[in-house]
Amino acid sequence: MPNWFPSWTKCCDPANYRGMPVAAMIAISTVALVMGASWFLLLLSALGSGAGFLAILGAVGPGVAILLAGLCLAGIAFCNWWLDVRLICLGGDRSEIGAIYHLEPPVPARNLFDIFSNALNADTDYSFNLLLWQFVPRHSLPDSFVNDQWSPGAFAQLAADWPTLPPLVPNVPFAQVSDEVNLIVAQQSMASLGLGFGGQNINDVDKPDPPLAGSTKQHFLMHCEIEGPGMHDLLILLEVLAAVFVAATFLYAIPVVGPIITWVLILLALLAFLIGLSNITHDDATPPGDGGWGGSFNPFETAGDPKGLVDLAYVFGRWVYDSLHQGAESNELHPVHYMIKIGEATQGDLSIGLWPPDLGVIQLKYDTQFGVINSPGTIEIQKQPQNQWTVHPLLDGCLGTVPYPDPPPPIP
């Protein structure tokens, strides 16, 4: 089944994870600076002490181009890490069901300073937190688990302690929520990496449902991200610009017009960077227009009053850990492949754990349907030539190798 939302990232296995390539980015930039300065000094020496201003300006061009190409390569290293390494695989695709709780739309770049000062403005993902079914916003995982959740026996101990933990956890048997809880806690598959785990918080105490006294920052929320193409677009832009800067370096060798061509390419590339980056930072992901959403969410936080309606959702996405959320590292559904609106509930009902009935049945229904749709057998059927048409084939009859019986005669 084609995803409702495109995916621009990959996730890496825990064994292949590495941190942000800061050292490599610094090394690439330093080498480019040294090479650019050396090239300029070499050309300046060849021109001699009597070189005029225009000759010196021309000699600067290749050095500038080399430096800018190096900066592009450093940016490419960061983009590749962001897209392919930053997210750690936890075990394939998973589904969750719950209420839209908190929205985190992309942060707009208001000016060029924003664009240059914060590379994350190219992160055009639309994020939201999903309050998991059967939980209440104020409930949180207990300190006894949070402080020791990387321990191999922590989850089993949480199950044993569960009946004694209210009011910080819901008054339901652990067996009913163990699968949901497991999706939002630290996983042993990556315990050896030494990464943090801040979890998802319900944020400020002045929100409609402030935390209970003694609650931790790890509430029963699943962070979800609909991916935007921003960082992927930035990678392509930097790759093109790096090629242009390298070409500008060698075109300097053309007699007479070479220095002019070099500077023209440099200036055009810089202009393209400004225009392209501005467009990238506005190429944002948005809430889905289909699946019952109509392009917007009604979250718990801004419902307004206890009678305000909150959207309930079935969300299916890739289960990963995001290593870049400083202080709030957590498991996520990232990217969200598809999501469906399954109803509404009032803020007041959700605040006291009064959920609509049969949500678990609804989740099982969609899981079963998507399992059939994405099964290897279905995928093979979709690959058959008769199922590959894009315009309904009245001319070719849409027939495969299997003959179909004639239709029954019309009833008089």
Coil/strand/helix, residue 206: coil
Which residues does the chain have with pLDDT short of 50?
Answer: 1-2, 205, 395
pLDDT at 1: 40
Alpha-carbon dihedral angle through residues 342, 346, 350, 356, given to the nearest 10 degrees:
-40
Q: Where are the beta strands (DSSP E) in 46-125?
A: 87-104
Q: What is the DSSP code string of 256-282? A: TTHHHHHHHHHHHHHHHHHHHHHHHTT
And the tokens for 11?
Answer: 């996730």
Coil/strand/helix, residue 170: coil
- Summarised one tens digit per residue, pLDDT across range 323-346 is 987 667 899 999 999 899 999 999
And the tokens for 392?
Answer: 């309904």
Residue 167, preceding peptide bond in cis (omega within 30° of 0): yes
pLDDT at 41: 76
pLDDT at 66: 93
DSSP H or E stretch at residue 154: helix 154-161
Length of the chain: 412
- Summarised one tens digit per residue, pLDDT across range 171-180 is 788 999 999 9
pLDDT at 6: 87
pLDDT at 307: 93
Q: Scanning the structure block, which residue is given the tokens 């048997």?
A: 173
> What DSSP character marks residue 106?
P
Residue pair 87/321 in contact by the 8 Å Cβ criterion = yes
Chain centroid, CA 241 distance in Å: 25
Integer CA distances (angstroms), 111 to 108, 120, 194, 281, 285, in order: 9, 14, 37, 10, 20
> What DSSP character marks residue 211?
P
Residue 345: CA count within 13 A, CB half-sphere: 24
Residue 229, preceding peptide bond in cis (omega within 30° of 0): no
Give the C-alpha separation, 301 to 312, whole Å.
14
pTM over 0.95: no
pLDDT at 54: 63
Give the C-alpha separation, 401 to 39, whole Å.
67
Kindly tell me the burial class for residue 50, based on how many C-beta atoms sit within 10 Å of its own C-beta (0-12, 13-18, 19 or more). Answer: exposed
- Summarised one tens digit per residue, pLDDT across range 379-390 is 676 667 666 656
Residue pair 12/84 in contact by the 8 Å Cβ criterion = yes
Q: Where are the domains of the chain?
A: 20-84+230-280, 88-228+285-373
Give the C-alpha separation, 54 to 87, whole Å.
49
Give the C-alpha separation, 333 to 318, whole Å.
5
Q: Are strands 221-226 and 330-346 parallel, antiparallel or unpaired?
A: parallel
Give the C-alpha separation, 47 to 98, whole Å.
71
Give the C-alpha separation, 121 to 134, whole Å.
35
pLDDT at 82: 94
Task: State the helix-helix crossing angle for 53-84 and 22-47, rounded to 10 degrees.
Answer: 160
Residue pair 136/348 in contact by the 8 Å Cβ criterion = no
Coil/strand/helix, residue 237: helix
> What DSSP character marks residue 317?
E
Residue pair 316/339 in contact by the 8 Å Cβ criterion = yes
pLDDT at 2: 42
Residue pair 133/183 in contact by the 8 Å Cβ criterion = no
Q: Is the dihedral of CA 70, 75, 81, 86 positive or negative?
A: positive
From 53, 60, 123, select the one nearest 281 (Cα to Cα).
Answer: 123
And the tokens for 366?
Answer: 């969609």
pLDDT at 356: 92
Residue type (1 letter), 286 = T
Kindly tell me the burial class for residue 203, based on how many C-beta atoms sit within 10 Å of its own C-beta (0-12, 13-18, 19 or more). Answer: middle
Q: Scanning the structure block, which residue is given the tokens 């664009």?
A: 115
Strand partners, 100: 130
